[in-house]
């Protein structure tokens, strides 16, 4: 799903518009607020998934960015109207992670992505 379509679907906003390395497509999503869970569950994920994968979270910190970086996820969608600080946006630019925000809940965001053919972590494992 193209980034512009995702933004429209979730009524989202991209926070780092000047990020030349940022991804423009999302095909996979993982939803989590506990970064330790994300690290534990996603370590089994094939490496090609991260290039078009998104972490959906309410955690608006450098920890979320570093977790996405370790997992090679190139997009983070912040839910519940959370806004990252400028230092988080600057770090995202530096490491090439697209930051999106939406006022929707995590549940609603996940449901909309799923209904529009963004695959879940579980579906990736089933394909293996």
Closest Cα to residue 31, out of 74, 63, 77? 77
Which whole number is the average pLDDT over 123-127? Answer: 67
pLDDT score for 29: 87
Correct CATH for 3-127 of 3.30.420.40, 3.20.20.60, 3.40.1390.20, 3.40.30.10: 3.40.1390.20
Q: Buried b / exposed e across 20-43, counting CB within 10 Å, b at 16+? A: eebbeebebbbbbeebeebeebbe
Overall average pLDDT of the 38-64 stretch: 78
CA angle 35–21–49, rounded 5-degree value: 50
Look at residue 109 in the predicted model and tell me its pLDDT: 96
pLDDT band at 48 (very low <50, low <70, confident <90, very high): low
């Amino acid at each position: 799903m193209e980034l512009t379509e995702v933004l429209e679907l979730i009524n989202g906003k991209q926070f780092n518009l000047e990020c030349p390395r940022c991804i423009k497509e999302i095909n996979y999503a993982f939803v989590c607020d506990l970064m330790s869970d994300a690290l534990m569950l996603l370590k089994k994920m094939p490496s090609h998934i991260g290039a078009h994968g998104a972490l959906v979270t309410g955690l608006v910190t450098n920890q979320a960015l570093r977790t996405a970086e370790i997992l090679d996820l190139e997009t983070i969608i912040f839910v519940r109207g959370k806004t990252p600080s400028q230092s988080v946006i600057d770090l995202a630019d530096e490491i090439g992670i697209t930051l999106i925000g939406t006022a929707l809940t995590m549940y609603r965001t996940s449901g909309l992505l799923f209904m529009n053919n963004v695959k879940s972590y579980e579906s990736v494992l089933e394909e293996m």
